[in-house]
Amino acid sequence: MALDVLFERPGRSSDLGSLTHVVIVRSLKQTASPNHANEQSWATVLASEHTAIKKISVYIPIHNTPLGNFTATGINDNAHGLLTSLRGQVTGPARVVLLGYTFGGLIIKHVSCLFSFSNLLNTVNVKALLIAHDGPRDIASFSAVASVIFVGTIQNAQDVNFDKSFAKCAASELGCGNKANILRCLRSLEYVTEMRRLCDGFNDLSLPCCFTSFCEKKRAVYGRKRWINKTKAAILVPENLGSMRLRNREQIINLDEDHSQLSSYLCNPSPLQKEVSKVIGDVEDGPYIQESLPEVTSHVIDLISRRSTPSLRGKAQSSHFSSIGVQLAIAATIPCHVIHPYQKNPNFCGREDILERLRRKLSPQPNSPRSQAQLALIGIGGMGKTQTALAYALSSIGTFPVILWAQAESRAKLAQSYSEFDNELGLSATMASNQTESRERVKRWLKTTDIHWLLVLDNMTLESANHLINDFWPSSDRGSILITTREESALGNFSGTIEMLEKLPISDATDLLMRVSKRTDNDFHRTYAEMICKQLDCYPLAIVSAAILIRNSKKTLEEYLQDYSVEDLIRTSNPITAPEARYPHTLFTVWDQTFARLDPDARHFLGVLVFLDADGIDEQLLLEGIQRCGLPSLQYAADPKRFRHLLENLCSNKILDRNPDIRKLWMHRVTQSSYSVRLDSPAAQCAFDSAFRTILSVWPVPERHNRHQPKLYITQKELINHVASLSRHYKMLREAELNSTSPTPTHLKVEVKFAQLLYNAAWYLYERGDFQSASPLLSTAEDYCLDNLEGSEYVLADIYGAYGASYSESNDRDLCLENFEKQLSYTTRAIEKGQICRPDVREAMAYGNMANAFMGKKRYEEAEEFYEICLELWKYCPGDAAIYIPHYAVCLALQNDTTKLSKSERVLNECIRDREKEFGPRDRKTFRTGIIYLALGNTQIRQNRLDEAYQTHLFSLEMLEETLGKNHHRFADACYKVGWHLYRRGNFEQSEERLQQALDIYTRQEIYKNEAARAYFKLSQVVRHRNNAARNLNIANEFMVNAENLYETITGNCRREHSTEEDYDELIMFWSR
């Protein structure tokens, strides 16, 4: 029982989230006559066609006899086996494609039911789990499935031929001579009943993945007629039998093949091979995945109760379970302990008093009143705050089913941590989830769950404190929060307990030195160890560093004291001056001694790491970057063996820490700062260039005409903090140079590609909805380009385009226009200087963005002119011009000209027809078709075709839900519009529901306060008309007060007593109206 690997692309396993793992479940025919060479040949061909495929595996069934694997018991056993095998090979977020041939598809169906039932048990807190050996981990594995492909599988239990088809298909696959045995096994009433339950139960699920069913169009031989030499043949799995009839959730493909061909191995080339390759290609492009958890029906409960462990049989049909036939809410994967990249420190000692106080304050106490426990550990860098928090967290795994460790140094890192919590808890169905949505899901779960949880906010800074309190703090009366910080001022009005972490007691410090230096614990050694610790002021990081030096140099403790005098240990000629941390002078001395032991290559390599983010350096990406950039100064590290040797050298000296399980490195900030101050100007320049080139060479840049590519998010997420670190170092040294009075100040020289990298990273953050983290990157890039204007015009155009896009999202029309004017100006300059060669989509976008800005300012005639220039330029460029077509149509419609209003509708209908030819009548690949329908509905409103507009907006809502999900602000725009229609039609209850749905999305981010104000205003009207009862009037008044307060905040004008809908419409950019 295992997954046999047919193909595996070389590279790091942690990239699985951005790649695809194809898992094959064999047919009855393939199980009876396995052909490994043929499977491997096809796998190689498929992998060559799709570079995003990481691995292709085939599931090896449990039973020795082919037919035994596909009896009711065999399917159940193999479903558990497949789920366990997925758990073993799919770690972390991944994209998995399950490919089931004929009877193998039934095993996949049973796995799906196990997955759904495990979610049900987890939701109702049944502790005596688990159906599939290890439920929560299995759920996490199956959650990675993005697509399921059924090839010639019987699926429609309602078809009249369902009962007899299993025996016919098996006879076709195994040969007519075995038909007697097959009939006895597969035509029994028990077997058919079990399969009917399985197919019905599966079809009732709402699994978060997409399905493809391949059916047959040719007759296959399945037997012979008695007494005469004549064969029996039929189309065994036609569309009516081989599809699930799930309407929009299933893709059905009919092939000109028979059942025997579909159950055989793929040959190259074959129609089936080509179609399977296309389906997998669609998965790589990012299929639509529903965000809701599976719904468990009585079919599934009954099926699993008959096939699960004896202790659970019968319980699934009890009144307790049958009362839960509803759509599941957030069902987290429990237990969930997200503590990596940290591991248990075997040398940790002492701090027992602090740990005991942590237990008393943070650990849940029986019969105590509900309240949120909060504690902050404060101390200078290297004092052991993180290690103490880690020791408490690891010792509390049995106490807290959920422990979440967040890097709280900056807003970007907090957002990244919450996104990881979202995935690890199983709250999100897709890795491409927006970071804001992830944050809100995690906060909502922490607020509502009754499970004991611990949240560790490590290394909170003054910079991140405001973001933490305003956006990330879980406001609730439950849970425990542990903060570590160097800056007491970052705590502000913190109401919890504060613990100051001071130097270690001498006994604990001596124990630490003895452990790390591996000295025998006796009175003689302890005497000298105490002397060393006293000289180091019992400072934990300094003690560890000194102990490593003693151990590696093979000196005795006495020799160490003789060779390194007190004066050496306390000299202050080169103190650490990094602004984020000030360290005792003894620490500098210890690191000076440690760094001196490194060879030149290791010192240069360490210098490169100094400019990267200290909290997580991916080994494989680092090696790939070094190899790709091809810098002569980094050739020593391009060889994998030499690279590993460098890491081992730095880790053995405790300069780096490494988690081998996830292949990540991290460096204490004291180490990073201590080494950075040792770099003179030439060394710093060389190290920065190497770090920059390394990251630049692995940063994935989307095509200019198709920038929205979620498949790149995984790698970009790994690299974004390193880009931010490079930006901070450059900005810090630039400001120091500007303020310096020295004739030769330290500065870094970079090229225009550095500004380009910062822009691309900022655009990634913009795509993920993190505008605040994008702004500093754009600012640094802008500073560089303005300082080095010649040759930087084309990058400045991109920068101002990104600024303009950000201001358009926040409805700031003036700054939007100002920045888009700069974008067009610098684009024109770049074209004149040959930096951009026509035709280029950037010029078209610059004109389109200017048109958007004019629209925001109600300068419609100018906007029309610029849209027409944009669309004319785009005719000669690649990509989808539909980004601007709906805006152009709205521009025509708003000019109160009957001719232009008709033209507006014509433009939109032509665009819709063109997109139907490319994407079909229901575009699920891009959200732009949904935006076009939204604009068409608005045009129909202006033509007073209100009923048509209502249907158009309903269709737009459905398409935006399918392509963007229910948490995107564009979906909220459609919700508002449908709510507006329902109010007009007198359906106040449904109108309130849709408007409230829109409001919930708008209020999650400050930039949508304009949209929120309009939604509050409309809700006040709806509630007021629903009922004149005093309670509803109070609610309506509350909505109106919220609307007026926001209106005053946005406009600066006093609240108006008789505000109109038009007043609030004016707050909104035209595309959201």
CB burial of 513-527 (b: ≥16 within 10 Å; e: otherwise) equals bbbbbebeeeeebbe
Instruction: Report residue 164's pLDDT band, with 50, 70 and 90 as the boundaries.
Output: confident
Peptide bond preceding 335: is omega within 30 degrees of 0, i.e. cis?
yes
- The tokens describing 635, both together, are 């050739």
Q: Which residue has the higher pLDDT, 493 or 610?
A: 610
3-state secondary structure of 495: coil
What is the phi/psi pair of residue 276, to 5°? Answer: -60, -40
pLDDT of 787 over the 70 cut: yes
Query: What CATH architecture is 506-590?
Result: Orthogonal Bundle (1.10)
Please give the pLDDT value at position 577: 32
Instruction: Say whether domain 966-1073 belongs to CATH 1.25.40.10.
Output: yes
CA quadruple 441, 443, 447, 452: dihedral sign = positive
Under 8 Å between Cβ of 891 and 860:
yes
Q: Is the pLDDT of residue 252 over 80?
A: yes
Q: What's the whole-number mean pLDDT along residues 277-282?
A: 83
Whole-angstrom distance, CA of residue 98 vs CA of residue 355: 47
CA distances for 555 relative to 368, 546, 549, 564, angstroms = 54, 11, 9, 11
What is the mean predicted confidence (pLDDT) over 529-554? 81
3-state secondary structure of 59: strand
Structural tokens at position 406: 């967040």
Query: What is the structure's pLDDT at 326?
Result: 28
Contact 167, 189 (CB under 8 A): no
Provide mean pLDDT across the span 71-87.
Answer: 78
Do 966-1073 and 336-500 fall under one CATH topology? no
Query: What's the mean pLDDT in 957-975?
Result: 90
What the block records as the tokens of 315 is 């319980």
| Contact of 42 with 268, CB cutoff 8 Å | yes
Check: CB of residue 854 under 8 Å from CB of residue 816: no
Note whether 716 and 700 are within 8 A (CB).
yes
d(CA 282, CA 302): 35
What is the rounded distance in angstroms from the CA atom of residue 4 to the CA atom of residue 23?
A: 9
Average pLDDT over residues 1036-1051: 88
Across 396-403, average pLDDT: 90
Least confident of 48-52, 740-744, 883-887: 740-744
Mean pLDDT of 983-1005: 92
Higher-pLDDT residue of 35 and 859 is 859
Q: How far apart are CA 34 and CA 174, in angstroms?
A: 12
Residue 37 has pLDDT above 50, yes or no: yes
Spatial distance between the Cα atoms of 590 and 592, rounded to a whole number of angstroms: 5
Answer for the pair 768, 716: CB distance below 8 angstroms, yes or no: no
Predicted confidence at residue 137, as pLDDT, reads 38
Non-local CB neighbours of 554 within 8 Å, separated by 6+ positions: none
Q: Is it true that the peptide bond before 341 is cis, omega within 30 degrees of 0?
A: yes
C-alpha distance from residue 804 to each of 353, 847, 852 (Å): 54, 13, 10
Q: Long-range pairs for 1054-1060 at CB < 8 Å and ≥24 separation?
A: 1059/1017
pLDDT in tens, 169-188: 888 887 755 555 565 666 66
Q: What per-residue confidence (pLDDT) applies to 306?
A: 38
Closest CA to 98 of 153, 44, 49: 153
Query: Cβ contacts of residue 373 below 8 Å, gap of 6+?
Result: 361, 362, 479, 480, 481, 496
- CATH number belonging to domain 336-500: 3.40.50.300
Give the contacts of 909 (CB within 8 A, at least 6 positions apart). 936
Indicate the range of 27-36, 83-92, 102-111, 514-523 predicted with least confidence: 83-92
- pLDDT score recorded for residue 187: 60
Of 128, 127, 141, nearest in space to 83 by CA? 141
Alpha carbons 1011 and 1013: distance in angstroms, whole number: 5
Band (842; pLDDT cuts 50, 70, 90): very high
At position 181, the amino acid (one-letter code) is N
In one-letter notation, the amino acid at residue 197 is R
Task: Name beta bridge partners: 8.
Answer: 55
DSSP string, 1030-1061: HHHHHHHHHHHHHHHHHHHHHH-PPP-TT--H
What are residue 733's phi and psi, to 5 degrees? -70, -30
DSSP 124-158: TT-SS--TTSSHHHHHHHHTTEEEEEEES----TT
Strongest mean pLDDT among 10-14, 94-98, 823-827, 882-886: 823-827
What value does the mean pLDDT of the chain take? 80
* Alpha carbon distance 929, 595 (integer Å): 59
Q: What are phi and psi of 254, to 5 degrees?
A: -95, 125
Q: Of 482, 507, 473, whose CA–CA distance to 387 is shortest? A: 482
Q: Which residue has the higher pLDDT, 508 or 245?
A: 508
Q: Burial-class residue 633 by CB neighbours within 10 Å (0-12, 13-18, 19+).
A: middle
Q: For residue 269, is the peptide bond before it cis, meaning its omega torsion is within 30 degrees of 0?
A: yes
Cα–Cα distance for residue pair 780/751, rounded to 1 Å = 13
Residue 695 has pLDDT above 90, yes or no: yes
**Mean pLDDT across the stretch 303-322?**
32
Q: Residues 1029-1053: what's their mean pLDDT? A: 83
| Neighbour count for residue 701 (Cβ, 10 Å) | 15
Chain segment 410-434, per-residue pLDDT in tens? 888 899 899 989 888 888 755 556 7
Mean pLDDT, rounded, for 349-372: 86
Distances in Å between the alpha carbon of 341 and those of 594, 660, 925?
24, 9, 36
Distance CA 810, CA 998 (A): 16
More reliable by pLDDT, 310 or 835: 835
Q: In which band, very low, low, confident or very high, does the pLDDT at 965 lie, cut at 50, 70 and 90?
A: confident
- Across residues 95-114, what is the average pLDDT? 84
Q: Cβ(943)–Cβ(965) under 8 Å?
A: no
Bridge-based pairing state of the strands 2-8 and 250-255: unpaired
The CB-side HSE value for 819 (13 A sphere, CA atoms) comes to 20
Q: SS3 letters for 310-327?
A: HHHCCHHHCHHHHCCCCC
- Is the pLDDT reported for residue 465 higher than 90? no
With a CB cutoff of 8 Å and minimum separation 6, the contacts of 366 are: none
| Percentage above 90 pLDDT, the chain | 30
CA distance 920 to 907: 19
Is the confidence at residue 276, as pLDDT, over 90? no
Q: Using CA atoms, how far apart are residues 98 and 202, in angstroms rounded to an integer?
A: 15
Query: Can you give the pLDDT at residue 880?
Result: 79
Mean pLDDT value of segment 639-664: 85
DSSP 469: I
**Whole-number pLDDT of residue 669:** 67
The confidence band for 844, taking pLDDT boundaries of 50, 70 and 90, is very high
DSSP symbol at 369: P
Centre a 10 Å sphere on the Cβ of residue 318 and count the other Cβ atoms it contains: 11
Model confidence at 110, in pLDDT bands (50, 70, 90)? confident
**Phi, psi for 836 (deg, rounded to 5):** -125, 130
Q: Is the pLDDT of residue 981 over 70?
A: yes
Write down the domain spans for the chain.
Answer: 2-317, 336-500, 506-590, 591-728+743-767, 966-1073
Residue 323, pLDDT > 60, answer: no
- Tokens for 932? 């076009």
Residue 862 corresponds to which tokens in the numbers above? Answer: 């100018």
907 pLDDT band (50/70/90 cuts)? very high
Cβ–Cβ < 8 Å for 349, 511: yes
| 713 pLDDT above the threshold of 50 | yes
Rounded Cα distance between 881 and 886, Å, is 10
Mention every residue, 6+ apart, whose C-beta is less than 8 A from residue 262: 101, 102, 151, 152, 214, 216, 237, 255, 272
CA 882 to CA 71: how far, in whole Å? 52
Phi, psi angle pair for 147, to nearest 5° = -155, 140
Angstrom distance (rounded) from CA 174 to CA 626: 54
373: which 2 tokens? Answer: 């426990």
CA 191, CA 72: separation in Å to the nearest integer? 6
Highest mean pLDDT among 58-72, 382-396, 501-515, 840-854 belongs to 840-854
Which pLDDT belongs to residue 754? 96
2-317 — its CATH code? 3.40.50.1820
> Cα 64–66–70 angle (5° rounding)?
110
